[in-house]
Amino acid sequence: MKLPILLIIIHLSSLACTFKILYLVPFPAPSHWYWLKNFSEELLKRGHYVTAVTSYRRPQPHPNYTEIIIHPPYNFSDFPASDFFSMKFNTVVNNLFLTWDVGLSSTEHAFKDKNVAEFINKTDLAFDVVILEQFFHDSWLPFAKKFDAPLLTIATLGHADYLDNAMGLITPSYVPHHVLTFTDNMSFYERCINLFWRLTDAFLRKYYYMAKMQEMADKYFRNAFNGSVPSILEIEKNISFRIINSHHSLSFARPRMPALTYIAGIHIKPVQVLPADVQDFLDSGSEFGVIYFSFGSCIRSVDLPEEKLLAFIETFRLLKQKVLWKFENDTLPNLPPNVFIRKWLPQNDVLAHPNVKLFLTHGGIFGTQESIYWSVPMLFIPIYSDQFRNAKRCVDAGFAEIISFQELSVQNLHEKLNMILDQNSYSNRINLVSQQFRDNLVDPMEESMYWIEFLARHKHHYPIFKPHSTHVPWYTYFYLDIIFFAIITLYITFALTKYGLKKIWQSFDTEKNIKQKFN
Ligand SMILES: *[C@@H]1O[C@H](CO)[C@@H](O)[C@H](O)[C@H]1NC(C)=O
Ligand SMILES: *[C@@H]1O[C@H](CO)[C@@H](O)[C@H](O)[C@H]1NC(C)=O
Ligand SMILES: *[C@@H]1O[C@H](CO)[C@@H](O)[C@H](O)[C@H]1NC(C)=O
Ligand SMILES: *[C@@H]1O[C@H](CO)[C@@H](O)[C@H](O)[C@H]1NC(C)=O
Ligand SMILES: *[C@@H]1O[C@H](CO)[C@@H](O)[C@H](O)[C@H]1NC(C)=O
Ligand SMILES: *[C@@H]1O[C@H](CO)[C@@H](O)[C@H](O)[C@H]1NC(C)=O
Ligand SMILES: *[C@@H]1O[C@H](CO)[C@@H](O)[C@H](O)[C@H]1NC(C)=O
Ligand SMILES: *[C@@H]1O[C@H](CO)[C@@H](O)[C@H](O)[C@H]1NC(C)=O
């Protein structure tokens, strides 16, 4: 008697836990997908049905996984390597426009894809949650509205003030703009610069970037919404939850709205077996250690200007350490004997090898986190976007150094490499931060899954965490209406009092005059 009831309960609870999830990842950079596919894989492991819009095919088909493949993938040729290496993105404004422009063009490319267009036309689908990578494809926000499902976003590059603004939080004077390298202790001059860029960003984002995104949404969702596509700025305010690639061990203390969580390190997995030749090379470096050198997946070492390429080669020749270099060519003329090149390397497993003593990196967010996790001090050569900020934080934390790409030479590269390799302070500092980075109340993947499933379970009551500040105008937010009212009240009181006193004085004066006349 009891057993069937138990079975029914188990059956019901397992049914209740299976959701249909739409996973939108239009951005084509391999490093993003390499990170983001961990979420969809985990959802599948938990028995959910996942429909993913992405540029990458899953190696093996899965019965619960539906792919809408953007094909051919977006071609980054509008953003050539020469622009990166000429340090075109060394300024705040160029970095803002880089992310916006790459976002606008890759989003439009994805919209034009036949598979995506067919998917937008579908009317027979239903989802419990819509997940969107919150990089720079805001014109995809209406998918949540189309399927009338709660929306969760994943902010790949970490916390930023435009995320706060949409959540009804205008962060105060001690939070630097996300592409500036200031700390939270800013001088008067730095606060001026910070305020300037925050206002400029807010203005340009609304009237340039989001306006173009809205145009795009209006165009491609026109049929889906019978011509009246909702405002993406409004949908943005309705995002129910945000999963942010930041970690408290590496961020300033900053105010946070309730509907978000930090999950950095989510992608880091136990070590796997390395290719035999890479393993042998790393093992052979036990005496002096190995330097691992990579510019990541978007920038390629093979595109380096000749002069800088030679600077690297000649510096490595001077070292007693071995160097493992992610270099995208089979051969490199004049390669010193202590250097090993390979077109692609399993970075996480390489950094986990105990002989790796230093990571020479551009400062991409995923590599920086992997290096912290495996306690490998870093020498940064930042090139664009968040890399300057990531580098500065690690330098300030005492476990990294930085070289500007323009000034890079055999002399300063050699000097900084030796500085890090010869002193224990860098590895001591990173060991401490690494321990904090690994020490979480809940496993970050577990926590992300909790929030996705939470939204699916409560889909008819969202958004529950939306603060009232998303509804109020800016002058109310900053108390300016009350200040204005107080000033007016004071002014009126003052004016009335002055007028009254004047009248009394006048009447007193007239009385005196009359008296004088009659005397
Ligand atoms: C697909 O989803 C169903 C329902 O959750 C589950 O029972 C099944 O095991 C899943 N299949 C795979 C291969 O994970
Ligand atoms: C990208 O576009 C450029 C220039 O239009 C072309 O030369 C290149 O072959 C394209 N790359 C791919 C992978 O299609
Ligand atoms: C989507 O629907 C619209 C209007 O019905 C139609 O004009 C368009 O060709 C459809 N697109 C695709 C890819 O099916
Ligand atoms: C903030 O920076 C100033 C100037 O660099 C320094 O004097 C002060 O001690 C710093 N304050 C804190 C709390 O770190
Ligand atoms: C669009 O209009 C058609 C016919 O007027 C209607 O059947 C359909 O429900 C509408 N769709 C939406 C999303 O409002
Ligand atoms: C945002 O959510 C509110 C409910 O809080 C709803 O009334 C409104 O229509 C939503 N706006 C959009 C554009 O989805
Ligand atoms: C994340 O994805 C990478 C790449 O597929 C995979 O090797 C790794 O095991 C995943 N990490 C976790 C924690 O599942
Ligand atoms: C790449 O390899 C080719 C031969 O395979 C060689 O001619 C070329 O110089 C290499 N490029 C660089 C930048 O080393």
The answer to whether residues 148 and 37 belong to one domain is yes
Omega before 463 cis (within 30°)? yes
Which stretches within 320-465 are classed as H helix? 347-352, 365-373, 387-396, 410-422, 425-438, 444-457
In 3D space, the residue among 369, 343, 345, 329 whose CA is nearest the CA of residue 292 turns out to be 345
CA of residue 321 to ligand 4 center, whole Å: 38
Tell how strand 65-69 and strand 129-133 pair up: unpaired
- Nearest ligand to residue 120 Cα: 3
CA of residue 38 to ligand 7 center, whole Å: 6
CA of residue 127 to ligand 7 center, whole Å: 25
pLDDT of residue 465: 82
Note whether residue 9 is domain-resident.
no
What distance in Å separates the CA atoms of residue 227 and residue 286, rounded to the nearest whole number?
66
Note whether residue 336 is domain-resident.
yes
Write the CA distances from 221 to 112, 117, 227, integer angstroms: 12, 9, 8
The answer to whether residues 505 and 377 belong to one domain is no
- Nearest ligand to residue 230 Cα: 6
The answer to whether residues 82 and 148 belong to one domain is yes
Q: Answer yes or no: are the C-beta atoms of 151 and 23 closer than 8 Å.
A: no
CA of residue 227 to ligand 5 center, whole Å: 10
CA of residue 221 to ligand 5 center, whole Å: 13
The vertex-432 CA angle with 430 and 436, nearest 5°, equals 110
Find the CATH number of the domain harbouring 403.
Answer: 3.40.50.2000
pLDDT of residue 10: 47
Note whether residue 62 is domain-resident.
yes
CA of residue 77 to ligand 2 center, whole Å: 6
Range of the domain at 385: 276-438
- Calculated CA dihedral for residues 79, 265, 373, 280, nearest 10 degrees: -70
CA of residue 237 to ligand 6 center, whole Å: 8
What distance in Å separates the CA atoms of residue 371 and residue 359, rounded to the nearest whole number?
7
405 in ligand 5 pocket by Cβ < 6 Å? no
120 in ligand 5 pocket by Cβ < 6 Å? no
Write the CA distances from 3 to 8, 16, 63, integer angstroms: 9, 20, 30
Tokens of 91: 């300024």
3-state secondary structure of 378: strand
The answer to whether residues 212 and 63 belong to one domain is yes
Q: What is the CA radius of gyration of the chain?
A: 29
CA of residue 78 to ligand 2 center, whole Å: 9
483 in ligand 3 pocket by Cβ < 6 Å? no
What distance in Å separates the CA atoms of residue 364 and residue 383, rounded to the nearest whole number?
9
What distance in Å separates the CA atoms of residue 205 and residue 450, rounded to the nearest whole number?
32
234 in ligand 6 pocket by Cβ < 6 Å? yes
What distance in Å separates the CA atoms of residue 480 and residue 173, rounded to the nearest whole number?
17
Number of domains forming the structure of the chain: 3
DSSP at 294: E
CA of residue 226 to ligand 3 center, whole Å: 12
Pocket test for ligand 6, best of 145, 234, 465, 466 (most atoms within 8 A of CB): 234
3-state secondary structure of 407: helix
408 in ligand 8 pocket by Cβ < 6 Å? no
Note whether residue 515 is domain-resident.
no
The answer to whether residues 183 and 139 belong to one domain is yes
The answer to whether residues 332 and 364 belong to one domain is yes
Tokens of 510: 């007239």
The answer to whether residues 27 and 144 belong to one domain is yes
In 3D space, the residue among 471, 466, 16 whose CA is nearest the CA of residue 241 turns out to be 466
The values of phi and psi at residue 276, to 5°, are: -55, -45
Nearest CA to ligand 2 atom 4: 77
The answer to whether residues 187 and 315 belong to one domain is no
Which stretches within 113-173 are classed as H helix? 114-121, 142-146, 161-166
Q: Answer yes or no: are the C-beta atoms of 338 and 319 closer than 8 Å.
A: yes
173 in ligand 3 pocket by Cβ < 6 Å? no
Note whether residue 471 is domain-resident.
no
The values of phi and psi at residue 305, to 5°, are: -60, 145
Write the CA distances from 278 to 270, 323, 341, 353, 480, integer angstroms: 18, 11, 10, 11, 63
123 in ligand 5 pocket by Cβ < 6 Å? no
90 in ligand 7 pocket by Cβ < 6 Å? no
CA of residue 120 to ligand 5 center, whole Å: 14
225 in ligand 5 pocket by Cβ < 6 Å? yes
454 in ligand 7 pocket by Cβ < 6 Å? no
Q: Answer yes or no: are the C-beta atoms of 290 and 324 closer than 8 Å.
A: yes
pLDDT of residue 82: 82
What distance in Å separates the CA atoms of residue 35 and residue 41, rounded to the nearest whole number?
11
The answer to whether residues 103 and 209 belong to one domain is yes
Q: Where do the DSSP E strands lie in 102-207?
A: 129-133, 151-155
Note whether residue 330 is domain-resident.
yes
pLDDT of residue 11: 47
The values of phi and psi at residue 453, to 5°, are: -70, -35
> How far from the centroid of its chain's Cα atoms is residue 452's Cα?
19
439 in ligand 8 pocket by Cβ < 6 Å? no
CA of residue 71 to ligand 1 center, whole Å: 28
228 in ligand 8 pocket by Cβ < 6 Å? no
What distance in Å separates the CA atoms of residue 355 and residue 376, rounded to the nearest whole number?
10
Note whether residue 472 is domain-resident.
no
Nearest CA to ligand 6 atom 12: 235
Q: Which atom of ligand 7 is nearest to the CA of 266?
A: 13
Nearest CA to ligand 3 atom 1: 121
CA of residue 136 to ligand 6 center, whole Å: 22
Identify residue 507 by its one-letter amino acid code.
S
Q: Which atom of ligand 3 is nearest to the CA of 117?
A: 13
Burial 451-476 (b: 16+ CB within 10 A, else e): bbbbbbeebeebeeebeeebeeeeee
80 in ligand 2 pocket by Cβ < 6 Å? no
CA of residue 33 to ligand 8 center, whole Å: 29
The answer to whether residues 146 and 54 belong to one domain is yes
List, run by run, the mean pLDDT of 10-residue segments along the chain (519 residues). Answer: 50 66 95 94 97 97 97 87 83 89 96 97 96 96 96 95 93 89 94 95 96 98 94 95 92 90 91 96 96 93 94 97 97 95 96 98 95 98 92 96 96 98 97 96 95 92 80 93 97 96 88 69
The answer to whether residues 247 and 282 belong to one domain is no
Pocket test for ligand 3, best of 223, 225, 226 (most atoms within 8 A of CB): 223
In 3D space, the residue among 345, 369, 357, 327 whose CA is nearest the CA of residue 279 turns out to be 345
CA of residue 462 to ligand 6 center, whole Å: 10
272 in ligand 2 pocket by Cβ < 6 Å? no
Angle between helices 30-45 and 444-457 (to 10 degrees): 60
pLDDT of residue 12: 46
The answer to whether residues 193 and 303 belong to one domain is no
Note whether residue 3 is domain-resident.
no
267 in ligand 7 pocket by Cβ < 6 Å? yes
